[in-house]
Structure 1
Amino acid sequence: MKKTLLLGFMALAGFTAHAQLPAGSTAPDFTATDINGNVHHLQEYLDQGKTVIIDISATWCGPCWNYHGSHALKNFYNNYGPNGSDEIVVLFIEGDGATTLADLQGTGGNTQGNWTTDPYPIIDSAQIASLYQITYFPTVYRICPNGIVTEIGAQNAVNLKNSVQNGCGQMLTGAQNNAEIEDVTLNLCDASTPIDFNVNFKNYGVNAITSGEIALKENGNAIATASISSNVSTYGAGTVSFSNVTINEGSEYTLELNQVNGGAPFDGPLSAPKTADVTVAQTGNNNSLVVLVQTDNYPGEISWRIKDSNGAVVANGGPYQAGPGAAGAGGPDANTTKTHNVVIPEGVADCFSVELLDSYGDGWSLGSTAHGIEVYSVGTAEPIFDYTAGNFGSNVTLNAAFKTAGILSTDNDLTVSKFAVYPNPSNGVFNFSTQEAVSVTVTDLTGKVVYTAADINNGGSIDLSQLQTGMYIAQVKGQSFEKTEKLVIK
């Protein structure tokens, strides 16, 4: 991850007074509730004969984020945990008591990104970190069924398996033919032209996948199949291609593994059908566009391109000004909105793709604001295309992003009133990104006014933490626009 923080070594004085638990110690027992409300009792897992791996980390810790980004624990969990053979337990322990749920979800101000994307449980408990006497983040422990705890370091999935088998004497069988289809979005320029698209999958089984078949179903009926023909090793990724498929906008589409290696796929959560998200490109009312780019905390690394249907670049921007912080963090272009006026030549009615790039390779994922890109057609209040970015790696291409009508605007003022509220949901504090001062009236679902504020400028906030959790309605008014927002307090 970007800018590995040297804070991998603990800066919390409450922990440095302890020594690391020596190898061979009996693991302190604990019962804790994860962020989804599920209860975990260590001794109960050990009594079931399962080895438990605990990763004690902190959301602000660069080395911890590096390990999270390797997906070692995700791979191990999907093969040998509940998503596979269910022989082991993986628990992520957030060890800094100052961490919030927003930090874990990647929207807080003290985080490296979204930590909730992997499937294993997350427990926010500085008490467990103290119980295990950690002196730095991340600390990865192996707890054998006999209760003996050993620090094993940040290992990959293969070495985690070897550590369990060699250190605990628990022989792991894993799952065979255990594959998962990744999330699929079918981007259409229109709903009448057949499209070609790829579907990615990952092998979480102990054996290589050398053959298989994925079916595309429309409203439950198979309309196309694609074959797996490559050799995909354990924890490897593969791709199948569908060609000349007509997608109807009103239908529901799912992708299902018909067979893997000549037989049924592993019967587990990962083999469940995946629903495809069908999107049809919106058409702007003219070719005069405004592109709003919401940068992250490292603007010197991010850039973007818009391409026409032939793949030619018609507009681009970035990288932006790097900041004075470590590796270019911060500065005037960080965590802000950059505005670009783009004019597509008159007469060009085309379908365009948008490509986001990050030179470091971790997407647009760090900072105190939302990150992404929006495209407006001049004269429209809502974007014809918007995308919220995260850790997409070095680049992501968003096909069939928007279309143009072929005519130019008669309005010479290529500006768009921009407003956003974040994080949402939140713990009650909502921040505002706005190009003009706004007033806000918040009502509950019965229509009762519970909060009002005026003259909120860009970077301002409102604090609704005194209200009960649930949904509220905010009426936002500026000089040039009015907007209704749903606010959710967790």
Structure 2
Amino acid sequence: MKHLLLLFLFLLAVPDMSAQQDHDATIIAYRGLRFACGDSVTPVLRIKNVGSQSMGTCVVETWKNGLVVNSFNWLLDVPALTNEERQPAMPILAATDGDMLEFHIISVNGVPDEDSTGNVSSFTVGMTPTSCELQTVEVEVLTDAQPGETAWAIRDELGQVLAQGGPYANASSTETQWLSLPANVCFGLELTDAGGDGITGGHLIVRCNGSEVIQIEGSTFTHEAYEGLHSGTVLGVSEVQSQLSLQLFPVPAHDQVEVRWSAPLSPDQLHVVDAAGRTVLEMGLAGSAHQTSLDLHELVPGFYTVLLRSQNGVVVEQLLVN
């Protein structure tokens, strides 16, 4: 009985290490580009407040190749509540292929972080991004037998999602999406499989002007694949050719717009893409007599991109719906 009493008193004296700490944060994920855009990287972290107190400040150290290069005192305009996640951008960092970057959470609210779990994240700067001379690209996904496991996202250098696709509903099907990206910008393409077995027999392809610039075979990864992309400065095949080959009337348009193109173009597909890169209208053009009409009743007012796809590439024109 005496031994049981001593054990009970000992357990009371030992702190419960599993109890929630007051000042504690953890790194959920790295969201910035994983390659140098030019000669630098803007690190972006997904950080969660797991402490019982609201998080108003958080100090994060950045290390490069084993040496501390900066200490960032992140001041939150609105404190993060318990279990709330935020996504700060760290100071821009000079980096090249092969550099090892580490991020260490040092303190929360001026107090040394009270639980080291999840305090460190690292990655190796890699790959020169694939370049596309255009802003307009096509993303094609061939799904496998579990399409609901497959998803992709394109993020900018601040970790914001500009376009995404999936999870999908149809097995062994080809899903396409046209995107109009900001000009002369670097992006990260993430392809994920929730089942952890890749996309058996499937793939993801990014096309620029009809040519494959990124191809990820489903058998080459398990949970995630990542590629870099750098956009060009023109929307379509060429700005001059676009003006000569494709015309919209009237612009601005309201209920309907006439689409006309010159004889050498011979497009087989037409897509209308909104500002978020989503295809909102599409139709086949085989046998069309160099023009067609589009019903715009279902479109909300705003800017759109009309794309004509042919064997020679893609020609685009801007459309304003009022």
If the TM-score is normalised by the length of the shorter chain, which range does it land in? 0.3 to 0.5
Relative contact order higher in (CA < 8 Å, ≥ 6 apart): 2
More helix by share: 1
More strand by share: 2
